[in-house]
Amino acid sequence: MLTVVNVLCIQDGKSFIGIGGSNLDPSGQISVVTQNSYGYGDIIRLLAYCTKIKKTINKPIKPKFLVLPHQRHLAKNIHHVLSHFDLEIDYEIEINTLQSYKDHYTNLLHVKNAKIVRENLGVPKLKTKKPGIELDYIAVWNPYTMFSDIPKEKMPIPKIDFEKLISNYKIKLVDYTMHPNEAFDIIRKAKFCVGYEGLGQAIAYNYNKKLITMSLWKDVSINTGGAESVIVDNIFDLKDRINEWNY
């Protein structure tokens, strides 16, 4: 029996989002389905959460990434992203419509659930196939090459201020127009990383990179970039921290 998981349950006296106690079949496999199948951080986090859940409840579990038919060409990016890790669980990709799993998508990645998820699942990592190294540049990602606008909460610093500041440093840009493998390589070898809430945070976290995130969603940014990442919401704090680390 394949169980779709998307509700709140109690595990060892603690409540957390993502596993439905009433839906757990002792002989079945848990399927955690997401439609958030395009952002690198969402892909990495879901695998890390599912791996942690499997160890917690000692039951088989498989994350499933739903990709819309008109975006099927992006499905290969999921494989590219996860190819950089030694995975302990399998995953599945399904090309289908949003209605196919209506009301059954996991809420592990929802903004509103960020705090309770972290309190009960922590901020788990995956095991990278290659170690991080440190070269003399800063890896930077910004939302300005995105195909659609992002909310201000994910990038609270104005574009003109950010670009003027970052031009003073030796940087390598990361964006979604490049192959995922190139993005991983740039972040893996960076001295440290600076970016908006998205794209490279989980990559930096899994490579143990120092990270500055521009964000108003503190709980989400901690979940994606780790508790030791620095979260800023203004250009002055951003400048101070970059200068502190850019020795």
Note the pLDDT tens digit of each residue in 177-213. Answer: 999 999 999 999 999 999 999 999 999 999 999 999 9
| Domain end residue (candidates: 127, 144, 166) | 127
| Domain end residue (candidates: 62, 96, 127) | 127
Q: What's the pLDDT at 1?
A: 44
Q: What's the pLDDT at 71?
A: 94
Tell me, yes or no, whether 156 and 236 share the same domain: yes
Question: How far apart are the C-alpha atoms of 23 and 6, rounded to whole Å?
Answer: 9
Q: Two tokens at 201?
A: 């945070």
Tell me, yes or no, whether 34 and 151 share the same domain: no
Find, among 197, 182, 191, 231, the residue nearest to 209 by Cα: 191
Question: How far apart are the C-alpha atoms of 36 and 63, rounded to whole Å?
Answer: 12
Q: What's the pLDDT at 5?
A: 60
Question: How far apart are the C-alpha atoms of 24 and 8, rounded to whole Å?
Answer: 12
Q: What's the pLDDT at 62?
A: 87
Tell me, yes or no, whether 116 and 142 share the same domain: no
Instruction: Supply the range of the domain harboring residue 47.
Output: 2-127
Tell me, yes or no, whether 120 and 148 share the same domain: no
Q: What's the pLDDT at 22?
A: 43
Q: What's the pLDDT at 21?
A: 46
pTM of the model: 0.91
Q: What's the pLDDT at 147?
A: 64
Low-confidence ranges of the chain (pLDDT < 70): 1-28, 147
Give the CATH number, domain containing residue 157: 3.40.50.2000
Q: What's the pLDDT at 10?
A: 45
